[in-house]
Amino acid sequence: MEMETKKGTTTLGLVFKDGIVAAAEHRATMGTLIAHKVAKKIFKIDDHMLLTTAGLVGDAQLLARFLRVEAELYKLEREEKMPVKGAATLMANILNQRKFYPYYVQLIIGGVDSTGPHIFSLDPAGGAIEDIYTTTGSGSPYVFGVLEDNYKENMELDEAINLAIRAMAAAMKRDAASGDGMDVVVITKKEYRELSREEIEERKKKLGL
């Protein structure tokens, strides 16, 4: 029996002046078959933090549920939100414990805490690296190409959203395993906001995509 996968995926996370932007497309594949066109790849962990996933659907959903529960327990016990670095370290430890029978995932943990905005990339063996931007999945080479060329530190919100949409659109044009629309989420100290489909389409139109 073949396990349902979404290895054909593109997700990204980037830091801007006041927070982070994350984006992911909707297509889930099983080999050359498009298995789903509405796959969820960005998971809200708390009001200040999210997780993006690429890899096996079951593994990704399990880890997202686990991290959401741990973040809630942390908040109840300490009466403060879990730091983004703490969440990344916790997830890295979970992944490392299973490195000989691994979770088949590539993750991004992003959010804003008392120390500012953070993006962490995590590999299946438990490596966790903080960066100003990162991307996962089969479409990631195209995303990196756009981000390497256009990313600037301390970008404003609109500029950061538009860059994320432009990078995702580039991947969806060239990577056959990525497509069927995208989700875009913004986190600042003030809010966790998922952009509407209408706003994304309007921005794409203005960008000529």
Among the listed residues 9, 11, 53, 136, the single catalytic one is: 9
3-state secondary structure the chain: CCCCEECCCCEEEEEECCEEEEEEECCEEECCEEEECCCCCEEEEECCEEEEEEEEHHHHHHHHHHHHHHHHHHHHHHCCCCCHHHHHHHHHHHHHHCCCCCCCEEEEEEEEECCEEEEEEECCCCCEEEECEEEECCCHHHHHHHHHHHCCCCCCHHHHHHHHHHHHHHHHHHCCCCCCCEEEEEEECCCEEECCHHHHHHHHHHHCC
Note if 115 is an active site residue: no
Which residues are catalytic, by number?
A: 9
